Structure 1
Amino acid sequence: MATALVGSPFGPLRRWNLETGESDHLRDSDDCEAVASVAQGGREFVCLGSRQGDLQFRDLATDTVVSSCRGGSGWVSAIAFTELEGRAVMVVGYGDGSMELRERPSGRLLARMNGNADWVHTIVITSVDGRPVAASSGSGGSVRLWNLEEQAEAVEAPAHSSRVRAVVCTVLDGAAVAVSASHDHTARVWDLASGRALHCLEGHTDWLEGVACTTVSGAPVAVTSGEDGTVRVWNLADGVETGRIEASDSGLQLLSCGHLEGGPVALLAKKGFDRARTAIWDLDSLQISGVFEAVSYHPASAWAFVDGRPLVVIAESDLGGHC
């Protein structure tokens, strides 16, 4: 069953059946601050991280608890799943900057990985030279790469001068790279093997809040959005801006990137406290190719395919969701 999970700071997690459109709430999930889901052994599982530092692994179909444990100090701020030497594991980040490697679904602690000085905003799993690694970002501007086989920090990339809000990983000329978006108005492209900065993507005039990667005409690009009201496209090979769109009356927010009918698109939303439409931005033509019905302030989205049909799930601030 194709399922979407929608979280809110004001209530429990909502579980949506993408095939029927029906939804319900997960029990006792009001204080959930981080969530990740995975298919394992023919079953769907979800891991919930709470404000008290608790971790709970559940069978998503039945909403029954498989295991639970007390994690590190502070809020659980990020969770990512991966495989390590044939074993299912998860990497967990906390509000005090600490990180842990845990077995799933048992939750058994395998290693602690300390090094972040503050809140872990993002954990992204990728591979460098065939080794599984985790890239993490923090409030102090750091981007760190962790060797999961050795449970040790492998690389610390030169820091941004302010909070890093998002990190994504991709491949550039056969090499693993990360793109980080920061409140210092820049995005940066890093070589993950060495930690060397390849490009600084400069042009935004305010905080960056989002970044996503895709390909346009076969070339890898990054798409960034900022509080300056613009969404911009950058060629990752040379760091040059190749396109932008901006709102005349309020800011734009990048929700996600994907492909529609074989072409690259970005999903955009107007920022503001009124209701506004969500737009599909064609990254080949740099033109708006379609709009969705109005949604409210600060939506989030995810792409899904159900029976071969592309769907986008949009969560909005009235505690609802659309598909």
Structure 2
Amino acid sequence: MIIRLQQKKTQQNHHKFCFVKELTAHLLPLTNIAFNKSGSKFITGSYDRTCKVWDTASGTCLLTLESHQSVVYSIAFNNPFGDKIATGSFDKTCKLWCAETGQCFHTFKGHTAEIICLTFNPQSTLVATGSMDNTAKLWDVETGEELVTLTAHKAEVLCVCFNTVGNQLITGSFDHKVVIWEVPSGRLVHTLQDHLAEISNVQFNWDCSLIVSASMDHTCKLWEASSGKCLATLEGHKEELLDACFDLTGQLVATASADGTAQVFSADTYKHLLTLKGHEGEISKVCFNPQSTRLLTASSDHTARLWDIRTGECLQVLRGHTDEIFSCAFNYEGDIIITGSKDNTCRLWY
């Protein structure tokens, strides 16, 4: 097992991704894409009011989840299990589905405005939703009941994230604040409020000790989760930050900006390590591969790029989309990439 793990750690170092297939997924533009843990299936949300489940290997549509009355904007598998799907809609509801049969288990009703983000907790017992009604809510997966409404923000809740233990949730808002909540009680633990503009993304690192926040104020901040203390402000971008993430080890932070660059920082020393230049438009999404050797960026210049984390070299430009790429992701093994674009297609790269 140790030998296999060592092989997996290094096997992707020289892997070159090739375009495999393009899927015209929906009648109207896509809103989001997401893999299950293994990468055997992925889901797409759309303005056509549906979510579709796809087989990655064949590119065939397995299920169409329909009954929302407006845009399906946010979607998620309950990874690592992958047997349930949550969909959040502009119709103010969230729905819970069986990923195998397409049966709708529950419709979560209670928000008074559009749902724009959602996530499962790691144990797959709760769903958190964030809304333009300035609140987040926690829902019981088994019963479909609302457990608590989280009310501290004064503007839209744009992002929600559980820690890996599942006992805390963070919410980021257009009110410039990040809030840490106790789960499932909904008690407010800390309010993180050093940013000067809207929050675009928040995330815990793997051991739940750090939080990263990206903001429209051109900065990224690292916070100590236990105390709520701001440990560092990561600067260098000239425009708004649209995304930020940790690698799986929690040692690196990557940022994506409207200035067309991505940057990589040390989460331990807070030092700037790399500036990745090459895109001709804003970068809206950034993610590490599971081996923490590559960084994937998605841009409004119609391309995605793959970068070497050690050198900052652009290893590949993934071309073919005819409009802005708004989403990109690796599967769990790191050997498949999916990109989603405003050209209404998904492209798979192996």
TM-score of the superposed pair, with normalisation by structure 2: 0.80
- C-alpha separation in 2, matches of 1:311 and 1:227: 26
AA in 2 matched with 1:285: T
Match of 1:49 in 2: 88
Alpha-carbon distance in 2 for matches of 1:269, 1:155: 32
Q: Which residue of 1 aligns with 2:222?
A: 189
Among 135, 140, 150, the residue aligned to 1:98: 135
> What secondary structure is seen at the aligned counterpart in 1 of 2:223?
strand
CA pair 43-245 structure 1, distance change in 2 beyond 3 A: closer
* Structure-2 separation of matches of 1:320 and 1:289: 23
Q: 1:61 aligns with which of 100, 103, 115?
A: 100
Q: Which residue of 2 aligns with 1:206?
A: 239
Structure with more strand by fraction: 1
Letter in 1 for 2:325: H
CA distance in 2, matches of 1:141, 1:265: 30
Q: 1:234 to 1:72 in 2, by over 3 A?
A: same
Q: How far apart in 2 are the matches of 1:44 and 1:13?
A: 15
Structure 2 residues without counterparts, runs of 5 or longer = 1-37
CA contact (8 A) 1:126 1:169 kept: yes
Tell whether the 8 Å contact from 1:219 to 1:235 is kept in structure 2 after alignment.
no
- CA gap of 1:92–1:175, structure 2 versus 1, over 3 A, is closer
Larger RCO (CA within 8 A; separation ≥ 6): 2
Deviation (angstroms), 1:298? 2.8
Alignment CA distance shift 1:55-1:204 (3 Å): same
* Deviation digits for residues 118-138 of structure 1 (CA, Å, limit 9, x no counterpart): 1111101005xx671001100
Question: Any conservation in 2 of the 1:79–1:123 contact (CA below 8 Å)?
Answer: yes
Verify the 8 A CA contact 1:280 1:289 in the aligned structure 2: yes
**Alpha-carbon distance in structure 2 between the residues aligned to 1:93 and 1:309:** 29
Instruction: Report if aligned partners of 2:204, 2:212 keep a CA contact under 8 Å in 1.
Output: yes
Cα distance change on mapping 1:56 and 1:231 into 2, 3 Å: same
- In structure 2, the CA distance between the partners of 1:132 and 1:219, relative to structure 1 (3 Å rule), is closer
**Contact 2:214/2:221 (CA < 8 Å) preserved in 1?**
yes
Partner of 1:294: 320
* Residue matched to 1:147: 182
Aligned to 2:330: 303
For residue 176 of structure 1, the aligned residue among 202, 209, 212 is 209
CA distance in 1, matches of 2:224, 2:71: 37
The equivalences for 1:145-294 within 5 A come to: 145-170=180-205, 176-214=209-247, 220-247=251-278, 249-259=280-290, 262=291, 264-272=293-301, 276-294=302-320
Q: How does 1:2-151 map to 2 (within 5 A)?
A: 2-10=40-48, 12-23=50-61, 25-29=64-68, 30-38=70-78, 44-82=83-121, 88-126=125-163, 132-151=167-186
The gaps in structure 1 that reach 5 residues or longer are none
Normalised to the residue count of structure 1, the TM-score between the two structures is 0.86
Q: Do the aligned partners of residues 142 and 43 (structure 1) sit closer, same or farther apart at CA in structure 2, a change above 3 Å counting? A: closer
C-alpha contact (below 8 Å) 1:158/1:197 kept by paired residues: no
Letter in 1 for 2:105: V
Letter in 2 for 1:111: V
CA–CA distance in 1 between the matches of 2:118 and 2:325?
A: 22
